[in-house]
Structure 1
Amino acid sequence: MKTPLFAAVVFLFIFSFNANICSQQATVDSNKVLQPEERHSSAMQLVSMFVERYHYSPKEVNDSLSNWIYTDYLKSLDFQRMYFLQSDVDQFEKYRLVLDQNLSTGNLIPPFDIFNVYKDRLSERVKFAIEVLDKPLDLSKNEEIDLDREKAKYAANEKELNDIWLKRIKFDVIGLILGGKEEKDARELLQKRYKNLHKAILQYRPDDVFQIFMGSVMESIDPHSSYMSPKTSQDFNINMAQSLEGIGATLTSENDYVTIVRVVPGGPASKSGLVEDGDRIIGVAQGDDGEMVDIVGWRTDDAVQLIRGAKGTIVRLTLLKKKDGANAIPLEIKLVREKIKIEEQSAKKKVIEINENGKSYKVGVIDVPSFYLDFEGKRKGEKDFKSTSNDVKKILDTLKQEGVSGIVMDLRNNGGGSLLEAIELTGLFIPTGAVVQVRESDGSVKVNRDTDPLVAWDGPVAVLINSGSASASEIFAAAIQDYGRGVIMGEQSFGKGTVQNLVDLDKVSGGEKMGQLTLTIAKFYRISGGSTQHKGVVPDIMFPSAFDPNETGESSYPTALPWDKIASTAHQASTGIGSIITNLIEKHEARTGKNTEYQYFIKDLEKSKVHRNKKVFSLNLEKRKIEQETIKKEEEARKKERADKGFIELDKDGKIVKESLVVEDPLLEESGHILANMIEMIDVDKKAGKK
């Protein structure tokens, strides 16, 4: 997975950069040649020293490493090979195998030379695009465009590059027309986008170029080690302490688009149900009727200035959904800004009724969005400090009183958090014992244990995970699986099994501002010995997924640390769950095979994959209109079929007003059925005298 240009992540729910690095009104010097400063060289040397001495698995500094950094840096600037000419790359070739040596000498001339050429080429491309967009385009030709240019050849000359760009411009114009724009308006909007992109690049400073290059350096080591320049880290620290209102999402800029990295649980975006990780924001508007401002080509920190605002005010966003791929049609949504409260990110419960084999079961569902801990409250010895395990313990006590027969722990999209809380949460379901092993770079292994004999819930339990479940979530799910304490269901988890430490370089630089370094220093291992790194947790019962692990998980990162195994640590595993998994899978497959709504869900996932993986598109407007109309008719036919079968209710405009699903979530509903089957089988075994 590439780290794109402008890849500094911005946390909208709590901050935006105070210093607007790239104000839209700033004066620019298009001829300015950017040069590295002495402090950049010192910072690179210091970072290199720390990586070599303290990283969990430092890379050998050689030509192979240099080649990786060089290739990644070119991708960061020109991922689709639409700016550089082959002659440019030929000129850069002299730098391919010297970057490893430059890490220790502090020589930054190569990356700055490359960036300055990139800046010039982008200016040329923008000029060409604006001139092309001054006139109507011929959208009647039977041409096609292949959007997958990551491994394409660089253009041999300007004419060849112009041909590539003309097709891309036509593709973008057609996309806007299909989204409701008139042809002339579409051309004008694209001109504005290119001007914004040009202005943003021209306002880059040496710090920005250094940050991009160091991104490639750190990603060559592993995807979770990173560097923040003094300015970036200062803005980060200042704004993390503030309470600013937003939509509840983390953003980055990827290939000219402001892209959602993560939707924060409990925020406006999350509660709307309309925003997902990977969606692109192409427009922002204020209030119910404010003008929609196109933000394609904007830097992320500029976009934040529009998205942030006073609590309770309305912001409208135009999105391109990730699941629809390059064929996505703009979707406008409305959100109300608010400050994200800790309560909104806390564990929550609900009870669902599941009917299975003529019997009704009350199933308690506990949604755990993150592993949180009030460190200060714990340090002070407060009895009721805020934490995941404390909140879940209270919820379990309540669910017992409500008479539930089993518990589903919903950890979907839980990106992790406190390691201590992963251990404490596991302890609510086991008497005492090992939970996770941590291996340091020197090979030493520490076993982290639950020492509290209290078991808050000794009944049937299931854990629901997906590709967004990472780190602490995987530790909990793996422990439950290794102990045979419950059944794990869902998608293969993310696979982040590494530990990072934040290093303040300013404290070791002799007074000079150097920024911050995040460094991978250790690795997690299950109590059974296998790492959660790279592979994640594989469920006992797999659910269909919209994405393959190689697309979105840890394994999608080319420099991710590999999976490996160490010795298991002593633990008493139950054999009860293992003996019924095969039976549970058979019942699951038989039930879902007859469940029309579940089959609809699977078909929708398959269609989403087709749309997302489609890279070749017609540049004939009429053909594209027919394709769009076909998709729309299929969606309407599906909606009518569901309504005719009583699965949904529609209003007079054909909009869905009521879902008939038990929980309006087919995967959670099926989890409840699996747990009900599990309860049945356990009851049968108990009657038969089995343990």
Structure 2
Amino acid sequence: MRKLTKNLTLLLATAITLFAASFSYSTTSEILAPEKQHDRATKLITHFLDKYHYKKFTIDNSLSDEILGAYIEALDPNRSYFYQKDIDSFQIFRFKLDDAISKTELSPPFQMFRLYQARVEERVLFALDQLKTKYDFKVDEELIIDRSELSWATGNHELNEIWRKRVKNDVLTLRLADKKPSEIKETLEKRYKGIAKRSEQIDAEDVYQLFINAFASTLEPHTNYLSPRTSENFEIRMSLSLEGIGALLRTDGEYTVVEKVIPGGPADLSDLLHGSDRIVGIAQQNDKEFKDVVGWRLEEVVQLIRGSKGTDVKLQILPGDEGQAAKITEIKITRDKIKLEEQAAKSEVIKIEDNLQNYKIGVIDVPTFYIDFAAYQRGEKDYRSTTRDVDKLLADLKSEKIDALVLDLRSNGGGSLTEATQLMGLFIDEGPIVQVQDSSGHIEVHRDRDSNISYHGPLVVLVDRFSASASEIVASAIQDYHRGIVVGETTFGKGTVQQLVDLNNFSSKDDAKLGQLKATIAQYFRVDGGSTQHQGVIPDIDFKTILKGEEYGERALKNALPASSIAPVKHHIGDIDAQIINQTSEMHSSRVKMNDKFNSLLEIFQLDYDVRNQKAVSLLESSRKEEYKRVETTRSEYQEMLKDMEENLNKLDDDEEFIDVLLDETAHIATDLTKLLKAKNSSSFVYRNH
């Protein structure tokens, strides 16, 4: 959640007077004020959060102070519009925003927002005027991209300098994309005027949603409010026959950023769009010109991307792996439905030669925990689900006489809790899988009640930083049951449960439009009583692909609920003890020291990390060109190195850049585990109580 700002009535009146004369100030912004339905919505929201939210809280002066900070940050996250004097003026509301929530006295956040609009219009006027400037790109200076931790500008000269460099960077970025001066001016004029226009179009519903979400963000990051318009847009996107590209998008400042590419969707299958890419332009398949979408509302961007199945959408993106100084890249993706079969679990067999002996390692990739609810509700016997599909894949792999199994849960963001529970049941006898504690302290234990075991053999689970929620439940249960070894990266750390409440169901008026509330109502706990929340699942063998100082997942979110613990529940355990884990870990460490492929991949990760975490970009044209070339050349060299070092070229498809080094190493770990268990004369799962 971002945060928002406050305002002094006298200062606000002065600001409006100043800017109304020089800018066609919208009459809508002058009358922005809370509406009648906001009073009812606020009462319902506070009631549900107080009664059912997992985190206990008190609406008091202390929380008011936090809400103020959250509201300011939501309005101006990069500290590019407000002055320090504005922030100082907002302090009169420091201990009044709790009343805005508990007593529905909502005028303060609306006063604050009106000043924000005035500041936006002021900056747009300055930016438009800067387009008349002929910039010298031989001057060695830089633009600080991330200003979120810097001081607020103290005066007009300081803020003008920030925006002078911003406009210069916008011009340089388009110049490096081979745009003509006339095209650059036209594009940026539309962009800056669009920012002002969208600021003017913000209505009371938008301001209310922004403020309530500032409040919600002080509780924890997964609780938020959806205004009636946001709720309706969501429902329309879910029900229309129009198709998309299969990507979750979010707003970051004035950019639309790819949050996640959906497995099996057009974007995923194209391999052209990736997480953290910024979308700056959109064109339909027959359009010659792109629409610049910097500063657009998220729903407007989504509307342009969606369209009829089989049609193309062209995107201009700033690739995330090129950092803040990224060069504009044009891609084309064909719209389609995200087919269940593309998201379904898949299997393969990796052959490993070790000490002149051959091993077959089965791999099952589970992108998400899914179930075809429609087919299930129709009573179809052969409905698709994760557990059913994996069970069939296991039967196929066993017929190929595999020596061990790798369960690949990388980038699996979760899904059906029931499916996660049942999937775990394929590898153990009946027993508890996960505990769920609600806000009242009541604990429900979700169990596998099927005593059949589909696979008894050596098992390795591969996870990464994007493995979350239901996938963390499976990985943690594998550890708690001593059923297998978990390898890779520490997982995301989302161990909470959310519920969506339609506030309209609690309104006495049939035509009331109050929106929806998504609230965190419970937390997952492991069988051993520990928590995946915040800390994630820590792998038994860490691939050390997370770089020092790198923050991700729940740990990078403000106000994320901390890890906690409850009492464990009794369960059987297998034969994967500390000795076997230590031995397997030592064998892994010895092998990767001599593995050029693995170490080259780590160097690519380091390069990506350095590029993505740039705090400033050079405005020296020659320096930017050199940086583009350096990053592109270095990444290409590493990829070619990995490709050249692949011993079995048959593993590579014609369009594949290099092998999955991490999966390859996981297969070797599975081989090590197989040998150790064989030497111990043991299966990896036996019946012992714990």
Q: Which residue of structure 2 lines up, in the alignment, with residue 211 of structure 1?
A: 209
Q: Offset at 1:191?
A: 2.5
Moved more, 359-368 or 76-85: 359-368
Aligned equivalents of 2:475, 2:682: Cα separation in 1: 29
Contact between 2:459 and 2:484, CA under 8 Å: does it hold in 1? Answer: yes
Query: Are 2:467 and 1:466 aligned?
Result: no
Aligned equivalents of 1:657, 1:177: Cα separation in 2: 35
Aligned equivalents of 2:513, 2:644: Cα separation in 1: 67
Please tell me the residue identity of whatever aligns with 1:298: W
Q: Offset at 1:3?
A: 7.1
SS for the counterpart of 1:221 is coil
Q: CA 1:69–1:548 in 2, change beyond 3 Å: closer, same or farther?
A: farther
User: 1:27-46 maps to which residues of 2 (within 5 A)?
Assistant: 32-46=30-44
Structure 2 counterpart of 1:309, from 289, 307, 312 = 307
Q: Which residue of structure 2 lines up, in the alignment, with residue 681 of structure 1?
A: 676
Contact between 1:492 and 1:549, CA under 8 Å: does it hold in 2? Answer: no
Q: Which residue of structure 1 lines up, in the alignment, with residue 572 of structure 2?
A: 572
Please tell me the residue identity of whatever aligns with 2:665: E
User: 1:157-168 maps to which residues of 2 (within 5 A)?
Assistant: 157-168=155-166
Contact between 1:439 and 1:445, CA under 8 Å: does it hold in 2? Answer: yes
Query: Are 2:450 and 1:452 aligned?
Result: yes
Aligned equivalents of 2:243, 2:499: Cα separation in 1: 29
Moved more, 95-104 or 139-148: 139-148
Contact between 2:28 and 2:203, CA under 8 Å: does it hold in 1? Answer: no
Contact between 1:4 and 1:253, CA under 8 Å: does it hold in 2? Answer: no
Q: Offset at 1:193?
A: 1.6
Q: Which residue of structure 1 lines up, in the alignment, with residue 59 of structure 2?
A: 61
Q: Offset at 1:312?
A: 1.1
Deviations 1:219-265 (A, max 9, x none): 11111111112222233234323332110011122111111122111
SS for the counterpart of 1:327 is coil
Query: Are 2:538 and 1:543 aligned?
Result: no
Aligned equivalents of 1:135, 1:668: Cα separation in 2: 53
Q: Which residue of structure 2 lines up, in the alignment, with residue 624 of structure 1?
A: 624
Deviations 1:440-471 (A, max 9, x none): 22222222111100101111111111111111
Q: Which residue of structure 1 lines up, in the alignment, with residue 147 of structure 2?
A: 149
SS for the counterpart of 2:584 is helix
Structure 2 counterpart of 1:501, from 499, 502, 512 = 499
Contact between 1:484 and 1:578, CA under 8 Å: does it hold in 2? Answer: no
Contact between 2:485 and 2:576, CA under 8 Å: does it hold in 1? Answer: no
Contact between 2:4 and 2:72, CA under 8 Å: does it hold in 1? Answer: no
Q: Which residue of structure 1 lines up, in the alignment, with residue 607 of structure 2?
A: 607
Contact between 1:245 and 1:338, CA under 8 Å: does it hold in 2? Answer: yes
Please tell me the residue identity of whatever aligns with 1:267: G
Aligned equivalents of 2:475, 2:3: Cα separation in 1: 29
Q: Offset at 1:43?
A: 0.8
Contact between 1:368 and 1:410, CA under 8 Å: does it hold in 2? Answer: yes
Q: Offset at 1:620?
A: 2.1
Q: CA 1:262–1:521 in 2, change beyond 3 Å: closer, same or farther?
A: same
Q: Offset at 1:32?
A: 4.2
Contact between 1:268 and 1:338, CA under 8 Å: does it hold in 2? Answer: yes
Q: Which residue of structure 1 lines up, in the alignment, with residue 667 of structure 2?
A: 672
SS for the counterpart of 1:584 is helix
Aligned equivalents of 1:346, 1:290: Cα separation in 2: 37
Aligned equivalents of 1:280, 1:423: Cα separation in 2: 36
Q: CA 1:604–1:186 in 2, change beyond 3 Å: closer, same or farther?
A: farther
SS for the counterpart of 2:349 is strand
Aligned equivalents of 1:110, 1:564: Cα separation in 2: 37
Please tell me the residue identity of whatever aligns with 1:685: K
Q: Which residue of structure 1 lines up, in the alignment, with residue 329 of structure 2?
A: 331
Q: CA 1:460–1:92 in 2, change beyond 3 Å: closer, same or farther?
A: same
Q: Which residue of structure 2 lines up, in the alignment, with residue 386 of structure 1?
A: 384
Aligned equivalents of 1:544, 1:200: Cα separation in 2: 44
Deviations 1:304-329 (A, max 9, x none): 22211221112222222223321222
Deviations 1:601-624 (A, max 9, x none): 100100111112221333222233
SS for the counterpart of 2:521 is strand
Number of aligned positions between the proteins: 662
Q: CA 1:403–1:243 in 2, change beyond 3 Å: closer, same or farther?
A: farther
Please tell me the residue identity of whatever aligns with 1:69: I
Q: Offset at 1:505?
A: 1.3
Aligned-pair RMSD on alpha carbons?
Answer: 2.6
Q: Which residue of structure 2 lines up, in the alignment, with residue 292 of structure 1?
A: 290
Q: Which residue of structure 1 lines up, in the alignment, with residue 16 of structure 2?
A: none
SS for the counterpart of 2:680 is helix
Q: CA 1:339–1:636 in 2, change beyond 3 Å: closer, same or farther?
A: closer
Query: Are 2:534 and 1:534 aligned?
Result: yes
Deviations 1:619-651 (A, max 9, x none): 2222333333333443455466567767899xx
Q: Which residue of structure 1 lines up, in the alignment, with residue 122 of structure 2?
A: 124
Contact between 1:486 and 1:577, CA under 8 Å: does it hold in 2? Answer: no
Aligned equivalents of 1:157, 1:207: Cα separation in 2: 32
Q: Which residue of structure 1 lines up, in the alignment, with residue 101 of structure 2?
A: 103
Aligned equivalents of 1:128, 1:690: Cα separation in 2: 69
Return the TM-score normalized by structure 1.
Answer: 0.90
Q: Which residue of structure 2 lines up, in the alignment, with residue 10 of structure 1?
A: none
Q: Offset at 1:541?
A: 1.1
Moved more, 56-65 or 179-188: 179-188
Q: Which residue of structure 1 lines up, in the alignment, with residue 481 of structure 2?
A: 483
Q: Offset at 1:158?
A: 1.5
Return the TM-score normalized by structure 2.
Answer: 0.90
Please tell me the residue identity of whatever aligns with 2:573: A
Matched-pair identity in %: 42
Q: Which residue of structure 2 lines up, in the alignment, with residue 346 of structure 1?
A: 344
Q: CA 1:578–1:642 in 2, change beyond 3 Å: closer, same or farther?
A: closer
Structure 2 counterpart of 1:407, from 405, 408, 418 = 405
Structure 1 counterpart of 2:419, from 418, 421, 424 = 421
Moved more, 75-84 or 626-635: 626-635
Q: CA 1:266–1:185 in 2, change beyond 3 Å: closer, same or farther?
A: same
Q: CA 1:560–1:150 in 2, change beyond 3 Å: closer, same or farther?
A: same
Q: Offset at 1:208?
A: 1.1
Please tell me the residue identity of whatever aligns with 2:358: S
